[in-house]
Copies of this chain bind each other. A is one copy, B any other.
Amino acid sequence: MSTLEPVTSIPQATVARLPLYLRALHQVAEAGNPTVSSAGLAAAAGVNPAKVRKDLSYLGSYGMRGIGYDVATLTQQISASLGLERGWGVALVGVGRLGQALTNYAGFANRGFAIKAVFDSATDQVGTKVGPLTVQHVNELPQVVAAQKIAIGIIATPAEAAQDVCDQLIAAGVTSILNFAPCVLFVPKGVDLRKVDLAIELQILSYHEHHKTLPDRGTRLAPRRRRGSSVPSRRTRAISGALPTRTTRTKAVDE
């Protein structure tokens, strides 16, 4: 494993961007470049170069002044930091349409996540196949999670069932959960929870769209002043402000 890493705790915001850099690095690697500058990575990841440098410096990074970063080294450093090289087993509960789509999502597998088992509580679902996996009843969770050493669970059930399923996952030994059900879940300390709410994203878009066509009244968009620095492009950022991102995607053109 990675030996002497300066584990001075990486800021959350940076952690959330590491997967982005990883994706960008794959792109760069495919283009055949052995090294990449912070500006190059920034362009590929859609962030600003200073941020890239600061983020990478938290990893105790290996950039070379005058040159940039070695693509292979950096890729492996970030992977190590994220804990991706050890390959995680994942259990998914709820094989509705979303659950099925997630089970077959290629982006998981090629980042080191293997969906090892899928569950549902509907007896008419149990026994059917989703991809190569046979749907099992949620009651089987404890055995399967233990047997396969699964640490991560994905909840893709309706909101009503989610807390129950969540509790069962935790009881079975899962310690990280990704929730797609549109509800708040409570978990004990030591369990990590993240959520993706599809409708929330649309509502945020709605806000901006609404205020785009409403130039005045009530809450208005403040005109933004962009500083000089970069941005020679013809396409530029949307809306305004800075750019971090909390919930999002991965993967690039690799494979």
Contacts and interface: CB of A to CB of B under 8 A. Distances in A.
Interface of A: 2-3, 5-10, 12, 15-16, 18-20, 22-24, 27, 31, 40, 42-46, 48, 58-60, 81-84, 86, 88, 90, 96-98, 100-102, 104-105, 107-108, 111-113, 151-152, 159-160, 175-184, 186-212, 214, 217-223, 225, 230-254
* Total copies of this chain within the assembly: 2
Contacts of A217: 7
Contacts of A190: 212, 238
A180 B6 contact: no
A152 B205 contact: yes
- Report, nearest first, the 6 A-B pairs whose CB atoms are least far apart: A197-B249, A83-B210, A199-B250, A193-B238, A186-B235, A197-B248
Contacts of A242: 12, 246, 248
A16 B219 contact: no
Which secondary structure dominates chain A's binding surface? loop
10 contacts: A23-B182, A46-B250, A88-B209, A98-B101, A176-B206, A186-B233, A197-B251, A198-B250, A244-B246, A244-B247
Given A178-B201, A237-B250, 4 more contacts: A7-B211, A18-B203, A83-B207, A152-B202
